[in-house]
Structure 1
């Protein structure tokens, strides 16, 4: 499948205007400083791991953990250092394709790539001499945050680790760059792209969709799924889909990003119209052949979207500022094809 790539032209043009014309705007409820962007300093940002104050606009931006670098890149700023992609990287260069395309568009060389295979490389981060470290979408521990804060001010996640919505990733990271207004423009641009894409597929409207976690073909005794706390599942709402009551109830019962039920209780998911998961046609055949899982309406109807979990398409199903536009048309088309099979 050739994945659509229409972000580069549309948003680049929009952001060029935004960078030239946008002025200050009001702060979000999570931020305590009344200034917005530009020269309104100090800027104070409250987040789950503390309070960060910036006394002047950062010039050298570093990012750690997954996808945070996509915010400065989308706003035309090349980080001095960022985390190397540790999955979904189809050519082994440490860059996901939408990131590589954006760097090429900006005429920029690849920044320093931090190897986070064994955790954050604090020494490598320090060597880039950053003015701010962005980590609004991350799994930072308090110890990580405290160590990074000795290097530069750190913008951490607003509530929970790995639970930051793509909008808040943009809001908090752009705020940390002193570019809140530009971040708002970016959010509006992506929202418009989403509206345009789903407008072509009215059959998606309200379809109850769940995201199964990686299915173990050797053990189908449990059905594991991402709760609504996970950004992959939360993104369904952006696409005009709905959260099944079964998943919503399980999400309300705990704060975890995933949950599971015994396959013997699979009838709890009778309210699921569409299933998205990682796998291929072989996995779909396995689900359809299982005496218990085959009873799920979505499986009976073949309303399943199977994504390559190790490739760019599956990776992009976790919505991030640049990945959304890169994958949007193809992802929505796959969901619509599944919706067409609902009986």
Structure 2
């Protein structure tokens, strides 16, 4: 793996996600790596839509929705088809940089890219003739699941749409490939890398951090934020940060990924040390100029981590290849913000 280049400013750094492209460098073909696994078929996987049984080790792996393809790629398997990036793709080739880099490491061309701008392209998925379809982190509906199941066995999300933590995303997708053991090893590798990186920044420990989202600088009458069930906020715990009580108190529904508070109630965020959000200096200026939002401790102290809406900012949602790609820089930026909060 290569480390991400040092990013100079908050507006160009800070992301989280993804993971280690480590386990298996030797094969760029799904069949080769799947057959190397010690796991035995059939495999039965429980998920939100019931159970899926995969009778034999898949040789042709397809993925749909955001980032599921990063699991087979991290394990050395190139999918026969996967979703094209439809957010944060700064060069328009349908591949985020950490995915493009991994394909180069494997010496592989890009697989078939499914255009999901208007939803899953079922015909394109069927044309790749997959043995399994991975969607452990996804927004599948029952109808989507039923249609995909007519093509091949589907590994769906365990509990709720877009709520699968990165560890479980790896575990369920790897199990669907017949590579459960390799998936566990990948998780352990990423955990070690995170722990080693975070250990260099003790000021992160316990710092209460909120992910501010959907900020409209022309209308600051409401404040929206990600709940702990959103994978971006959940990743804060991996980095030693804590969830503000103000955020946790409104987050009782496991399918509620965001919350909103009116500006008149802004004093509820008196326990927020650090804010992470998408935006630039204009956003900071707007927060400082607002008579209510400027009272948030993180705003008063300038403890704000700004993410661009292009790479690396798009990696704020932790996925198996993006975590390593941005980890050192993201943690450094969070540490700088934590220093400001002191």
2:220 equivalent to 1:220: yes
Conserved? CA contact 1:211–1:275, under 8 Å: yes
Q: Is the 8 A contact 2:47 2:158 kept in 1?
A: yes
Q: 1:277 to 1:150 in 2, by over 3 A?
A: same
| Residue pairs, 1:280-299, within 5 angstroms | 280-299=280-299
CA contact (8 A) 1:229 1:256 kept: yes
Q: Distance in 2 between matches of 1:198 and 1:152?
A: 41
Q: CA deviation at 1:214?
A: 2.5
Cα distance between partner residues in 1 of 2:230 and 2:22:
31
131-140 or 248-257: bigger deviation: 248-257
User: Shift of residue 252 of structure 1?
Assistant: 1.4
Match runs of 1:261-340 below 5 Å:
261-309=261-309, 311-340=310-339
SS where residue 213 of structure 2 aligns?
coil
Q: Distance in 2 between matches of 1:278 and 1:12?
A: 26
Partners of 1:3 and 1:337 in 2: CA distance: 14
Provide the C-alpha distance between the structure 2 equivalents of 1:138 and 1:39, rounded to a whole number of angstroms: 25
TM (norm. structure 1) is 0.90
Gaps of 5+ in 1: 5-9, 18-36
Post-superposition shift, 1:158? 0.3
Partner of 2:94: 94
The offset of 1:255, in angstroms, is: 3.1
Q: Deviations over 1:227-247 (max 9, x none)?
A: 011000000000000001111
Deviation at 1:282, TM superposition (A): 1.2
Displacement of 1:15 in angstroms is 3.7
Contact 2:23 2:182 in 1 (8 A): no
SS across alignment from 1:169? helix
* Whole-Å separation in 1 of the counterparts to 2:52 and 2:254: 29
**Alignment partners' CA distance in 2, 1:263 and 1:254:** 25
Once residues 162 and 147 of structure 2 are traced to their aligned partners in structure 1, the CA distance between those partners, rounded to angstroms, is 19
Provide the rounded CA distance (Å) in 2 between the counterparts of 1:338 and 1:15: 36
Is 1:303–1:342's contact at 8 Å kept on the other side of the alignment?
yes
Question: 5+ unaligned residues in a row in structure 2: which ranges?
Answer: 8-18, 27-36
- Asked whether the 8 Å contact 2:20–2:321 carries over to 1, the reply is no
Q: Is the partner of 1:130 in helix, strand or coil?
A: coil
Report what 1:239 is aligned to: 239
Q: How does 1:1-343 map to 2 (within 5 A)?
A: 2=5, 11=20, 14-16=23-25, 38-252=38-252, 255-309=255-309, 311-343=310-342
**Distance (whole Å) between structure 2 residues aligned to residue 147 and residue 282 of structure 1:** 45
- The 3-state SS of whatever aligns with 1:246 is helix
Deviations, residues 180-199 of structure 1 (Å, cap 9, x unaligned):
00000000000011011111
Count of aligned residue pairs for this structure pair: 320
**SS of 2:305 mapped into structure 1:** strand
Secondary structure at the counterpart of residue 46 of structure 2: strand
TM-score (norm: length of structure 2): 0.90
2:29 equivalent in structure 1: none
Does the CA contact (< 8 Å) of 1:15 and 1:186 recur in 2?
A: no
- Which string of whole-angstrom CA distances, capped at 9 and with x for unpartnered residues, describes residues 190-221 of structure 1? 00110111111000001000000121111100
RMSD: 1.8
Q: Alpha-carbon deviation of 1:49?
A: 1.1
Change (3 A) 1:51 1:239: same
SS of residue paired to 1:95: coil
Cα deviation, residue 38, structure 1: 3.0
Instruction: Check whether the contact 1:270–1:297 (CA below 8 A) recurs between aligned residues.
Output: yes
Q: Which 4+ residue blocks in structure 1 deviate beyond 6 angstroms?
A: none
Q: Decide whether the 8 Å contact of 2:276 with 2:304 is kept in 1.
A: yes
DSSP 3-state at the match of 1:270: helix
CA separation of 1:12/1:232 partners in 2, compared to 1, >3 Å: closer, same or farther? closer
1-side partners of 2:113 and 2:98: how far apart? 16
CA distance in 2, matches of 1:38, 1:78: 19
After TM superposition, give the deviation of residue 12 of structure 1 in Å. Answer: 5.2
Contact 1:214–1:279 (8 Å) recurs in 2: no
Q: Secondary structure at the match of 1:252?
A: coil
Q: Decide whether the 8 Å contact of 1:232 with 1:317 is kept in 2.
A: yes
- Contact 2:39–2:180 (CA under 8 A) maintained in structure 1: no
Structure 1 residues 245, 137: CA separation in 2 closer, same or farther (over 3 Å shift)?
same
